[in-house]
């Protein structure tokens, strides 16, 4: 009964009600969108590398080392000599190591130089190994294995011929035209930066940078340096000892970081911006709720006759008060549905754009713990904002006459 009356009352004022629903819906779309991006960004960063004990690179910022070695963001301040890598990788505490060389690109996608250990030991998500959707890993120089998104976006297949360029920009004037690569394999989707990466052998990079003919069949080329390397240790108990050994390495200035610690620093850096966005979005939602309050207060004078009729039919002042509260809840519920629908549409339409431009996999929309709190908070704020028009309706109902005069 109460719900039906509230619905009919809102329908009679559907023009202004829809404006309130629209403003609340857009506000919740922004709030829930920021929360979804925050959650997906953390999930993407966290799942991008799994099972690695340390990341070693040239001495500098820990966060910078993590970003360029794992997430292909930024560039290294310096390289590591190959001899230093071999010395450290041969330490008895090291179970496996993955060399990484960055600095080249193809149509805006990063090229990663590595070796077979990358496909054997690299893990993401819940200790998931890299798998090939087609073909095989590189076995000869000038062969390339593509991440899933690179192959999909550029429409490459096994046997496709590509030219990589020096530098990391989307446009380059230093292409290695004399050394075309052949696609031998395509990886399955991972939802990590691996999907936006081209993988080649270290020998291939040395070949093109030293200008060796593409048809040369000489002995294997050994790189002079690499950008960084990932380390898996025999025992986690040896982590801090090996980290200290790297940090005090006498031959050159190196640094070893724990991926989890570096990620914690990243969350601290972005935390201020994240909280600022949430605060601004919350204020926008509050403004929308106050707009709803203003609309309901302004309608009280016009609804005197409606309230008088309800009172004549036996409705109590409490019935009138809770009727106004239910109207606010209905408006908010419609706003939540609208905001959620807009978010679903935005993810469906813009998900590929975010993945291509920023390497951010947004996934499907899920109601996280904080997202649930946002929705609950919206209903609570709506109930509080509806107190003023509810009390106004309560007072009018005490004085009302069938004629509508107070």
Q: What is the DSSP string of 245-264?
A: HHHT-SSS-EEEE-HHHHHH
- 263 part of a folded domain: no
Assign 303 to helix, strand or coil.
Answer: coil
Domain termination site, one of 231, 257, 283: 257
Residues spanned by the domain of 279? 2-45+270-399
Domain termination site, one of 257, 288, 319: 257
Q: Which of 179, 153, 176, 155 is closest to 166 using CA atoms?
A: 176
- 31 part of a folded domain: yes
Domain termination site, one of 257, 291, 326: 257
Assign 225 to helix, strand or coil.
Answer: strand
- 163 part of a folded domain: yes
Cα distances (angstroms) measured from residue 350 to each of 21, 45, 310: 24, 19, 49
Do 61 and 189 fall within a single domain? yes
Q: Where are any strands of DSSP class E within 88-207?
A: 94-106, 109-114, 123-124, 128-129, 132-135, 143-146, 161-162, 165-166, 181-187, 197-201
Exposed / middle / buried, residue 153 (Cβ in 10 Å: 0-12, 13-18, 19+): middle
- 405 part of a folded domain: no
Question: pLDDT value at position 181?
Answer: 93
Do 216 and 88 fall within a single domain? yes
In this structure, the number of other CB atoms found within 10 A of the CB of residue 165 comes to 20
Do 179 and 298 fall within a single domain? no
- 94 part of a folded domain: yes
Question: pLDDT value at position 57?
Answer: 94
Do 25 and 139 fall within a single domain? no
- 265 part of a folded domain: no
Do 84 and 226 fall within a single domain? yes
In the chain, which residues have pLDDT < 70? 1-2, 5, 167-177, 211-220, 301-302, 304, 311, 314-315, 351-368, 397-406
pLDDT tens for each residue of 313-342: 766 777 777 888 888 888 889 998 998 888
Do 253 and 274 fall within a single domain? no
Question: pLDDT value at position 216?
Answer: 46
- 333 part of a folded domain: yes
Do 169 and 303 fall within a single domain? no
Assign 166 to helix, strand or coil.
Answer: strand
Q: What domain count does the chain have?
A: 2
Cα separation of 205 and 391, whole Å?
75
- Contact (CB, 8 A) for 109 and 197: yes
Do 30 and 172 fall within a single domain? no
């Amino acid at each position: 009964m109460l719900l039906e009356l509230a619905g009919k009352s809102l329908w009679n004022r559907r023009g202004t009600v829809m404006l309130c629903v629209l403003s609340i819906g857009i506000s919740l779309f922004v709030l829930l969108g920021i929360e979804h991006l925050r959650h997906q960004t953390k999930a993407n960063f966290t799942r991008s590398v799994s099972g690695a004990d340390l990341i070693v690179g040239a001495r500098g910022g820990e966060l910078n080392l993590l970003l360029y070695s794992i997430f292909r963001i930024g560039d290294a301040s310096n390289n590591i000599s190959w001899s230093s890598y071999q010395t450290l990788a041969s330490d008895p505490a090291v179970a496996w190591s993955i060399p990484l060389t960055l600095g080249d690109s193809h149509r805006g996608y990063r090229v990663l130089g590595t070796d077979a250990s990358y496909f054997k030991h690299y893990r993401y998500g819940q200790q998931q190994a890299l798998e090939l959707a087609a073909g095989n890993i590189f076995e000869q120089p000038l062969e390339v294995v593509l991440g899933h998104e690179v192959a999909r976006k550029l429409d490459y297949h096994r046997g496709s011929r590509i030219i990589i360029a020096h530098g990391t920009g989307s446009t380059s004037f230093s292409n290695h035209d004399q050394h075309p690569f052949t696609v031998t394999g395509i990886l399955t989707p991972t939802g990590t930066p691996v999907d936006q990466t081209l993988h080649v052998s270290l020998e291939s990079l040395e070949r093109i940078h030293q200008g060796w003919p593409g048809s040369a069949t000489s002995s294997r080329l050994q790189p002079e340096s690499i950008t960084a390397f990932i380390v898996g240790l025999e025992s986690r108990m040896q982590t801090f000892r090996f980290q200290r050994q790297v940090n005090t390495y006498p031959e050159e200035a190196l640094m070893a970081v724990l991926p989890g610690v570096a990620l914690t620093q990243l969350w601290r850096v972005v935390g201020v911006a994240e909280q600022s966005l949430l605060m601004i979005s919350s204020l926008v939602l509050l403004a929308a709720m106050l707009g709803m309050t203003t609309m309901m207060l302004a309608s009280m004078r016009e609804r005197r006759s409606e309230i008088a009729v309800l009172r004549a039919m036996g409705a109590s002042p409490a019935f009138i008060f809770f009727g106004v509260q239910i109207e606010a809840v209905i408006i908010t519920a419609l706003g939540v549905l609208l905001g959620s629908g807009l978010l679903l549409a935005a993810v469906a339409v813009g998900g590929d754009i975010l993945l291509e431009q920023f390497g951010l996999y947004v996934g499907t929309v899920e109601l996280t713990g904080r997202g649930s709190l946002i929705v609950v908070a919206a209903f609570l704020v709506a109930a509080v904002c509806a107190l003023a028009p509810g009390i106004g309706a309560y007072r009018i109902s005490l004085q009302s006459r069938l004629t509508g005069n107070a």
